[in-house]
Amino acid sequence: MTGFTPDTFAFLADLQANNTRDWFEDNRDRYETHWRAAALDFIAALADPMSKLTPKLKAEPKLNGSLRRINRDTRFSKDKTPYSPSLHMIFWAGDHPNRSAGMHFVLHPDSVGYGAGRWGFDGATLTSYRNRVVKKADGDELIVALDQAATVGCTTDDPALARVPKGFEADGRRAELLRHKGMVARTMGDGADPSVIQGAGAADWAMDVTRALMPLIGWVHELP
């Protein structure tokens, strides 16, 4: 496996400082080698170990598979810079990479972020989530999973709701969980040093982090 090198992070840093189409075209060879090819090599190296997890995670070494495109959708954004100065990889358990429980790694110019869970529950899924949180065994299981996620530096965002939704009663940790409308634990702030995802130990590091987050992935994967 070739995978990521310091050149990947140098490209991201330069893109962040020169986020224009002209600069990108002048540096397309760097993109192809150190961004796209490096990521696809890394994803391919994780395909077998990811498939042996429970639930198994899909690793598709292609753009719009496990690798998100570098182009930004600027149609509804005030930020019109054309490219994202990051590299986002997804490994997922369900039918669709963006709507399933899964594991995410995001390379930034000076750090590596990572996290797991499932974004934005719809109506039926949100109801099921809340019912499971207040059920003692299921709620306890989620709390244990989140505590384990914290051991690798992953925590939840602030809840979306200011108070516990109507029809549910809980206090303490469960009350806080009921105020969420999705369940993701991720690194905040700087993330990990870029060195963790470079060299011979990169895949092992990624799998160690993923295994620590598998209880959370399994819990949210069971939601409808």
81-112 pLDDT, tens digit per residue, is 999 999 999 999 988 888 899 999 999 999 99
pTM: 0.95
**Per-residue pLDDT, 1:** 56
Cβ contacts of residue 182 below 8 Å, gap of 6+?
117, 118, 119, 120, 121, 160
Nearest CA-CA partner of 82 in 101, 69, 91: 69
Angle, CA of 115, 120 and 126, to the nearest 5°: 115
Q: Where are the domains of the chain?
A: 6-221
What does each C-alpha distance from 69 to 87, 97, 209 come to in angstroms?
Answer: 8, 13, 24
Helices 38-51 and 202-221: crossing angle in degrees, nearest 10, is 60
**Per-residue pLDDT, 78:** 84
CB-side exposure of 47: number of CA atoms within 13 Å? 15
| CATH code of the region 6-221 | 3.30.930
CB 35 within 8 A of CB 70: yes
Summarize pLDDT for 161-215 with one digit per residue, the tens: 999 999 999 999 999 999 999 999 999 987 999 999 999 999 999 999 999 999 9
CB-side exposure of 16: number of CA atoms within 13 Å? 13
Number of H helices, E strands in the chain: 8, 5
CA 163 to chain centre: 27
Average pLDDT, the chain: 96
